[in-house]
Amino acid sequence: MHSYQPYVSRKPDAQGNIPYTLEEDRIWAKLFEKQNGAMGQYACQEYLDGLKALTLPSDRVPQLAEVSAALHKETGWSVVGVPALISFKRFFDLLANKKFPAATFIRRPEHLEYLQEPDIFHEIYGHCPLLTNPIFANFVETYGKLSATANEKDQVLLARLYWFTVEFGLIQSSRGMRCYGAGLLSSMGETKYSIESDIPLRKPFSILDALRTPYRIDIFQTVYFVIDNFQQLYDLVKEDLLQALQEARRLGEFQPTYPPKEENA
């Protein structure tokens, strides 16, 4: 049995480009082809419009500069390369300044269906299309600004809000329930599962419930929150988040709906 090899972000060359290998380009192409085939059925229209606006390459890993150029034209956002994991403070500061942090490695063949760490496919294919949508982009920026000024204890709870919206959110559309969370849109396994499986709970979005719901990062989610539209998200960050945080802490966490982690997993 092979031991797990951690991923490390790739460093750019003198021109600012990352020299991805042919094998890495092939992995991108395989992921792109597979996910693109499912997007019409499972992704929300705003995401599909964003994907079209970005014109991402289908046969190679894109460079951050070209994605930034397309994003900036639409909403003034850009993408910056970061190590695989960064602090909450650094993460929120970047979002507050309309910069989306992207780890620059791509998953290995054995992790095609699901990867708990955010790779370049997740960051670019999953997150960036919706950052072309002004309402959604404003929500993420405002969320970043509010979270950047919060204390560490509150930032942990605010990370849950991000998890259940930007990463694993569902939206009710005229075509039925669709994915908008990047963790779903970039996962070959969880895209279909989130919409069609009868295993997870799907709950109408409530900021208080989201703040009180624990989650695991290494399995398919057991709870998804469903919004009606992106204006709902933007409106919630303009409300008194501090009051919601205090109330969530007073009420305490919900019981986990996921199985306990195995000791030697």
Domain that holds residue 54: 22-251
Tell me: pLDDT of 243 over 90.
no
- Give the separation between CA 185 and CA 189, rounded to whole angstroms: 10
Q: Is 221 a domain residue?
A: yes
In-domain check, residue 143? yes
Look at residue 239 and tell me if it is in a domain. Answer: yes
Q: Tell me the per-residue pLDDT of 157-203, one tens digit each, with 9 for 90 and over.
A: 999 999 999 999 999 999 999 999 999 999 988 999 999 999 999 99
Structural domain count, the chain = 1
Task: Establish if 80 belongs to a structural domain.
Answer: yes
Query: CATH code at 131?
Result: 1.10.800.10
- Measured between alpha carbons, how far is residue 110 from residues 33, 46, 69, 106, 113 in Å? 17, 31, 32, 12, 8
pTM across the whole model: 0.93
